Structure 1
């Protein structure tokens, strides 16, 4: 949370610089960069709020707690990206058609160079927490009942799970880093050849498409969670087959696997066992198999007799 607060402060400061500089330089590309940076701040803010809200206790009406605030926040962030990118694309096309004032290439270059340094600092800051340390934080926070050995055994699977908003914020920073390089190069060209100001509009259109592209995977993850789809990393057929292969198990049905958030997966199912089977033993065996093989910590099994 401290890292996110530092990132919010850096972003907010530079947004002011880019908005003022973009207007003075008459550069849509810089304003596009500022819009992308504003979305970084939004993503960071939503991440902070969702981390705070995830600690709220569940209530009778909100029996799963407030974890899905993270997903709703990510959805709002994506919608804002689409809205701002659409506006900037419209403005760029209008300028291509009607022409625009002179673009100050030197100012455009200077601001984007400063932006590159800011984005490098944020990428380093968030990249350090986005890797191993970040995963450990969330495994500890969301799966306190899992043993350390189980976490090590399932390290590969747990690495696939992530906080949507932190992922989104990190992607925003990487995208903005590339964008800053492009705007800087465009500014250098316009500085050298002022009559080539169309490069500013081309940069705006190109980077708007790139910004939208960074949201595709995130949008798919959001839809998967909201539609309560089986998480992509879990093969439901293989899981069911593994349970059915247990000696005491006759059948598995009414199986449902879904995510509250991408790092909080829930499974419920009915397991039919032989008449002579020890129901408690089978229950423990099935839950242990699901936790160990698939790292699903929230498991509800109903045992039925044949």
Structure 2
């Protein structure tokens, strides 16, 4: 990979999304207090503070159902199958529940069929869920907690008796990001906390090998897994740069200053949302969107403010 090469231009074309029925500015998400999001199977999935899960299709039609009595904190939609995994709360206090839904089956009330419910509690001290990742083969799932613990599920994640979990403790600070990588028969789990980055070998059951990759972590929402064309690398955004990781160590970095708020991978693009303080003298800086194109092993940056 080459180091970052700057090319500054007007990013992609921008246009205001309009409602196809009224031809007015689309505002059907305006009153929804969104807490989390995911995408897959041609739709965007959103969770909100009232326990609802919303589906937004390509025609911008919204459907929803009540997944929790209180709130939804995490959603993960599979790309190739109808499985949706959510984390939320049905009662006050730190008592997170993980639920697995089959979107192709409907229960008696007309909602997606819930195939599994797991109370995410380690020992006697409940801790908030801070990260969630599900493998596309639906045989691996992991939940990261604020106390540094990880719940690793193996087997058919849609069924209790076919999928058991074990607790892994890889660091002493909050888990901020997770990602699975499979190459041939080798499977790894990337874990990032606020202070460190790890890889966990999953190839041999009950013999998970934890390797420390870096003694610097990242905040929540600032890590993402690249696509297969970029070798499913784990990408992390920090104040000074964007870093790429393989299971055995850190790879190249793209050095540019600025607070990183969100990292997202879309096809051949790494999208970085952050604050560019240098280009804006106003307090708090200015929101910047950076799109790093990743083709033929080279990384070029296209930036807009």
TM-score (norm 1): 0.23
Structure with the greater alpha carbon radius of gyration: 1
More strand by share: 2
More helix by share: 1
The structure with higher relative contact order (CA 8 Å, sep 6+) is 1
TM-score (norm 2): 0.23
